Structure 1
């Protein structure tokens, strides 16, 4: 079928949708604005099929609220679209005025300007805010008995208040509670996949809440640790001026995380901060999730720290920041640290890097050219400045709590 701006489609209950301008495209399809329903976007598949149709019907019939405390957290399917009776795609909330999460790649020069455009007064607490919101939305999804599956940095976008939205929700791993049909996730980026998912064919892999917890821990680690990936490392015997990194997938399979245990001839990349500057309970959470080896990896899957526990740990960190327990670095106002832990861990790590600045770049975030296409599949990706956060502030975790952290 050939659909374009102006084409009319019909929903499950007879609602009419007129395609507006194209918003983005990817390998699976094209995202359009919906001309007669401006709060929605429509994804039109290049190769629609019966399994996708059944999956989307299931997601519409057993919907998760895309909003938490009034903030759009999920680009969840709202209706299934048909053109002349043939399945074509689905509608979802239009995601706008957002930036991909990799703009917080603080050690990646390609994205520093993007970060400053989104957050002109960026400091480390902003990354903490984003980490909290990410844990919050993953917990929300798990409490509704869904599995994200492909939780990579292309599918997560940030709003100017530090909240996040998950895109590409149609790739979730779900099971129809009525028919029992399983709609598996079959895609993922290796650097965010748990060891049990490091297989040649993801169609044979088993995604779970625990594999989501592993990916979430990687994202939180990168946000708190200046975007250094927990499984990037440096081989001591080969180090000269540049830093050769061990293959990331192999490190994930073998459990080679130099931040949580000692590994012969392996250490963290030059320029990476020590885990010791974080609160003890957060250090323990990373060790619980990343301290395994090839032999015991499968037996420790269920021991990973859950999204709900991460949410609580990060909230506790927010409380300490709010109370003024962390100090803003005198050399770089983007850095924050606990005075009781010594000097600024980020400055100390940077001082240890080679003078030429060619130390280990642990960034694994994709460059904009390879990721914007997927990021815009659920809406437009733009840059915006931070603004005061709104919200009721009636309970722990409300967005209004973070106003002071984003000012």
Structure 2
């Protein structure tokens, strides 16, 4: 579409004024609609084929309440002035993020905070509900991918890019001819989607993949370790039914990635559903359908229990907690800290401090003592060999030299051969000794690296740092009363400035006549927090789009003209509104500190739990490495003795 064209039309000829671009992709751009706040227009880059036009018309006719609630379902065509369809109208979806942002602990930190496993389970169930709505209306998503699912902070889900769905209407099939291999079922892997009639069973595979990604911390169900030769990319593992979390994993040469949870964490019902969805049976006899997932995921959420050691961990109550075990092995926090709901202003700081003091220090990092080991028997056989080797090698070399001078004598050749064979024996033992020393060096390096990680994860430093943070927050809390007194005293010292600020704040830009500043620019200023003469500051204006030096100077001149009318009255007391503002600010600080203290206490508990989990789950590996180091050291000592 020509960027200068800002007006389009509905099929009935109603004019639609395009607003700002809110999104853009390979197919087209999405625009706000000035007169339709809840809808947007998607304008395609290329002229629409008749097949696409007919499909969009059909989608408008089969729209239902469930589709409207759970998807961005097209509602009609958009035409140019010559009545040629160039796009479509669809609901505006805002305040949501791609489901991909929820998969892994790292990716959800920015856009989804306060998230635990219950939330992820709910999102998976709501995604299944949206799939069910599509299937109930004789449609197939086809191109299942995480870019097509948007999630809100309340875990509700909306499907987008609906114009790519496969649609059935009055016996006509409008196909979906695209797809992503990581969500494509085995029976379609490696095939062109052109002309293929997709089925809900194909979607059911993609839904199972998406649910798995949510529940298993972003791990793809077909990404695993392959025991056979060559690589095993995801698409190939899908095609060959190599599900590394299943009961048949070893038989197909697959194993779960390190530090990944077992399939059993979702309970027997969901575990079987994943097995069925990713098996040959799923291809031939059908996979679990969307409504099966809704019911099973709701059951899972209803049975989740909070971990006694870490309040952000929710699971089926298995012991040990799968998330404590995973965090102990990886050192990566899997979920956001949960802040308990509490009062706004009343806060027992003394009682809070008692809670902090009651949390036991994890103590120093446990030592892994040296092991009392016996040298390898082969190493004992080499004992003293290192000292004797050089001497004997010299004797052997001399004998061989003499033999060279007497080569004409056959008996001398026999002696030389014997000496050579003896020397080779000594050299072989030298090689064995070198191998023991190499193994000792490798064991020492592994132990040193493991010790560093052990100190970081199992040491008390993170706990001590969190205690320091809490102590700093407590100091801030304690000085709040004196902070209020200091600010009121500052008002008294700066009474003139306080009166000036109050005076300037009474002059609103929206009602002022300022050269070159019309209603549009005033609205922009208000959107950027510049509402009164008090807000007019050069640095603040330069951050507002469309306000360069000349336009900004007009506003600054207006502020000066207002300021020139100010008259200071030293007899006036401090404005009660200024004191009220101070009290409001102090209350805000109090709320902020209360939330930070409660959060800090929970983080302190979780930090301690993570340290103890690291000690428990990493200790066997440390002991193994310690034993390997001590054994290799004993072997080297034996051959050097």
Q: Same fold (TM over 0.5)?
A: yes
Aligned-partner Cα distance in 2 for 1:343–1:320: 17
Aligned-partner Cα distance in 2 for 1:166–1:38: 19
**Aligned residue for 1:336?**
314
Could you say which structure has the greater relative contact order, defined with CA pairs below 8 angstroms and 6 or more residues apart? 1
C-alpha offsets along residues 304-338 of structure 1, whole Å, 9 cap, x if unaligned?
A: 000011111112123224xxxx123624x443222
Aligned-partner Cα distance in 2 for 1:15–1:318: 48
> Are residues 1:263 and 2:245 paired?
no
C-alpha offsets along residues 379-404 of structure 1, whole Å, 9 cap, x if unaligned?
A: xxxxxxxxxxxxxxxxxxxxxxxxxx
Give how far 1:278 is off: 1.4
SS at match of 1:97: coil
Aligned-partner Cα distance in 2 for 1:200–1:63: 31
C-alpha offsets along residues 28-55 of structure 1, whole Å, 9 cap, x if unaligned?
A: 0000001111110100011122111111
Kindly indicate whether the alpha-carbon contact (under 8 Å) linking 2:71 and 2:159 is maintained by their aligned counterparts in 1: yes
1:190 to 177, 181, 194: 181
The two structures, once aligned, show a CA RMSD in angstroms of 2.3
2:117 to 118, 124, 128: 124
**Aligned residue for 1:308?**
291
Q: 1:284 to 1:173 in 2, by over 3 A?
A: same
C-alpha offsets along residues 133-182 of structure 1, whole Å, 9 cap, x if unaligned?
A: 001111111111110111100111101110011010000011222xx332
Kindly indicate whether the alpha-carbon contact (under 8 Å) linking 2:266 and 2:300 is maintained by their aligned counterparts in 1: no
Structure number with higher strand proportion: 1
> Are residues 1:73 and 2:48 paired?
no
Aligned-partner Cα distance in 1 for 2:237–2:30: 36
TM-score using structure 2 length: 0.49
Aligned-partner Cα distance in 1 for 2:159–2:135: 13
**Aligned residue for 2:40?**
41
Aligned-partner Cα distance in 2 for 1:213–1:158: 19
Aligned-partner Cα distance in 2 for 1:97–1:262: 41
SS at match of 1:151: coil
Q: 1:329 to 1:104 in 2, by over 3 A?
A: farther
1:222 to 190, 210, 213: 213
**Aligned residue for 2:267?**
279
2:140 to 147, 154, 158: 147
Q: Which runs of 4+ in 1 moved over 6 A?
A: 354-357
SS at match of 1:278: helix
**Aligned residue for 1:113?**
109
Q: 1:66 to 1:16 in 2, by over 3 A?
A: farther
**Aligned residue for 2:91?**
93
SS at match of 2:74: coil
TM-score using structure 1 length: 0.76
Q: 1:255 to 1:135 in 2, by over 3 A?
A: same
Aligned-partner Cα distance in 1 for 2:90–2:162: 10
Aligned-partner Cα distance in 1 for 2:50–2:126: 34
SS at match of 2:77: strand
Give how far 1:353 is off: 5.4
Aligned-partner Cα distance in 2 for 1:76–1:250: 34
Kindly indicate whether the alpha-carbon contact (under 8 Å) linking 2:67 and 2:134 is maintained by their aligned counterparts in 1: no
Aligned-partner Cα distance in 2 for 1:132–1:59: 25
Kindly indicate whether the alpha-carbon contact (under 8 Å) linking 2:120 and 2:215 is maintained by their aligned counterparts in 1: yes
Give how far 1:245 is off: 7.2
Aligned-partner Cα distance in 2 for 1:199–1:222: 22
Structure number with higher helix proportion: 2
**Aligned residue for 1:364?**
none
1:291 to 279, 298, 305: 279
Kindly indicate whether the alpha-carbon contact (under 8 Å) linking 1:151 and 1:212 is maintained by their aligned counterparts in 2: yes
Aligned-partner Cα distance in 2 for 1:67–1:140: 6
SS at match of 1:279: helix
Kindly indicate whether the alpha-carbon contact (under 8 Å) linking 1:272 and 1:346 is maintained by their aligned counterparts in 2: no
Kindly indicate whether the alpha-carbon contact (under 8 Å) linking 1:75 and 1:166 is maintained by their aligned counterparts in 2: yes
Unmatched 5+ residue regions in structure 1? Answer: 239-243, 358-407
> Are residues 1:51 and 2:42 paired?
no
Unmatched 5+ residue regions in structure 2? Answer: 332-449, 454-641
Aligned-partner Cα distance in 2 for 1:130–1:311: 10
Kindly indicate whether the alpha-carbon contact (under 8 Å) linking 2:276 and 2:282 is maintained by their aligned counterparts in 1: no
Aligned-partner Cα distance in 1 for 2:233–2:43: 37
Q: How many residues align?
A: 330
Q: Which has the larger radius of gyration?
A: 2
Give how far 1:186 is off: 1.0
Kindly indicate whether the alpha-carbon contact (under 8 Å) linking 2:67 and 2:73 is maintained by their aligned counterparts in 1: no
SS at match of 1:330: coil
Kindly indicate whether the alpha-carbon contact (under 8 Å) linking 1:141 and 1:147 is maintained by their aligned counterparts in 2: yes
> Are residues 1:251 and 2:251 paired?
no
> Are residues 1:104 and 2:112 paired?
no
